Homo-oligomer: A and B are copies of this chain.
């Protein structure tokens, strides 16, 4: 089933044209600013027409996003952005539809639409701003907050085991799963580009700092002192390397048990290591859960950033269109009079 292609033209706008006239109302220092900037930076490169772009969001700090984009936009209700975006995309396949959502919006109240959207695979780009907290309602734990998290609603610590959002997405048969972060603009831009390029639902989880209610949750991945040991950047076809000078690697023992190794010390070649394959769903799952593994030999497991998984599957809107076309082929363009009349009529004279 061929999916509908977004028309590729040269863009008719620049980053500046994307800035709306509305004052931005995020807290100073909020990670959302960077994400907005990177999106505004990347969009003009994609060969889209500005009038064909629509941003759809739910409710949350992150979901204010559409107001700041001088494109078509819908700020909707809590948790339903993916469904609303799906309706828009299925009815107007030529539009480039972006969903902006938070960890509460998409994984808490919106969890059902989230998983169903992923399996149905309309060609949407989902930007999930994960700050592991409810920002807008002033700091309650979210479904991604770690166990024991102390918040306003969990003064003795959260008793809930959190979701691993990417593992959940893979379990829901997502076709594109990636992760980036607000504080790494270049990587974020690259990931936005990859998301846009994917035909089908692309899920980009973005670690986002909420400096008011959950400050520093992801600093380990960007702070000088820790970042090389804690963040691993994925590249398709390349071995999993990280640490100072990429001296650490990950290898798979028995084909499926990850192990952190010192590449130089053990004199390993690249091919001894786990080579990242974006098409391998099993390995994508393993990557999503990488930091959940017990540290071994060479220390803790890092968190991965990049494209975990990217495969092709027909898009929902394409399949819907195809049936309409087939129906027209089979039955001809709808004839209202014939429909209403039906097969059994009688006349009164």
Is A171 interfacial (CB-CB < 8 Å)? yes
Q: Does A334 contact B (CB under 8 A)?
A: no
Q: Is the CB–CB distance between B173 and A161 below 8 Å?
A: yes
**A111 interface hit (Cβ, 8 Å):** yes
Q: How far is the CB of A24 from chain B (nearest CB, A)?
A: 31
CA distance A159 to B323 in the complex (A): 9
A173-B161, A255-B256, A282-B286 known; A111+B116 contact, CB < 8 A? yes
Residue in contact with A252 in the complex, picked from B167, B170, B255, B316, CB distance below 8 Å: B255
Complex contacts, A323 vs chain B, CB 8 Å: 156-157, 159
- A112 in contact (CB, < 8 A): yes
Cβ proximity bits A282-321 to B, threshold 8 Å, 1 near / 0 not: 1101100100000000000000000000000110100110
A120 contacts which of B111, B116, B120, B160 (Cβ < 8 Å)?
Answer: B160
For residues 256 through 285 of chain A, which have their beta carbon under 8 Å from a beta carbon of chain B? Answer: 256-257, 281-283, 285
Bound-state CA distance A326–B159 (Å) is: 13
Alpha-carbon separation in the docked complex, A156 to B283 (Å): 36
Given known contacts A171-B167, A172-B168, A282-B286, is B255 in contact with A162 (CB within 8 Å)? no
Interface size class of A (residues with CB under 8 A): 35 or more
Contact A160 B316 (CB under 8 A): yes
> Could you say which residues of chain B place their CB within 8 Å of the CB of A169?
171
A115 an interface residue at 8 Å Cβ cutoff? Answer: yes
Query: Does any Cβ of B come within 8 Å of A254's Cβ?
Result: yes
> Is A60 in contact with chain B by the CB < 8 A criterion?
no
* 0 or 1 for each of A11-53: is its CB under 8 Å from B? (1 = yes): 0000000000000000000000000000000000000000000
Q: How far is the CA of A319 from the CA of B281 in the complex (A)?
A: 34
Closest chain B residue, CB of each to CB of A165: B171
> Could you tell me if A119 and B285 are in contact, using CB atoms closer than 8 angstroms?
no
Known contacts A323-B156, A323-B159; is A143 also within 8 Å of B171 by CB?
no
Copies of this protein, total: 2
Indicate if A327 sits at the interface (CB-CB under 8 A): yes
- Residues of chain B within 8 A of A286, CB atoms compared: 282
A164 contacts partner chain B, Cβ-Cβ < 8 Å: yes
Given contacts A282-B282, A285-B282, contact A168 B316 (CB under 8 A): no
Query: Which B residues are CB-close (under 8 A) to A168?
Result: 115, 171-172
A63 adjacent to chain B (CB < 8 Å): no
Check if A319 sits within 8 Å of B159, measured CB to CB: yes
A344 to B157, CA, bound (A): 28
CB-defined contacts of A119 to chain B, threshold 8 Å: 143, 160-163
Complex: chain B residue closest to A161, CB-CB: B119
Determine which residue in A109, A120, A173, A289 has the highest number of CB atoms from chain B within 10 A of its CB, and name it. Answer: A173
**Would you call A189 an interface residue if the criterion is a C-beta within 8 Å of the partner chain's C-beta atoms?**
no
For the complex, what is the distance from the CA of A143 to the CA of B113, rounded to whole Å? Answer: 12
Among the listed B109, B156, B157, B255, which residue makes an inter-chain contact with A255, where contact means beta carbons less than 8 Å apart? Answer: B255
Complex CA distance for A171 and B166, rounded to whole angstroms: 8
A115 to B169, CA, bound (A): 11
- CB-CB under 8 A for A163 and B167, given A115-B115, A285-B282: no
Contact status A170-B171, CB under 8 Å: yes
- Taking A108-B116, A111-B115, A252-B255 as given, write out 6 further A-B residue pairs in contact, using a Cβ cutoff of 8 Å, ordered by the A residue number: A111-B111, A119-B143, A120-B160, A170-B171, A252-B256, A255-B255
Identify the 4 closest CB pairs spanning chains A and B, nearest first: A255-B255, A171-B171, A159-B319, A112-B112
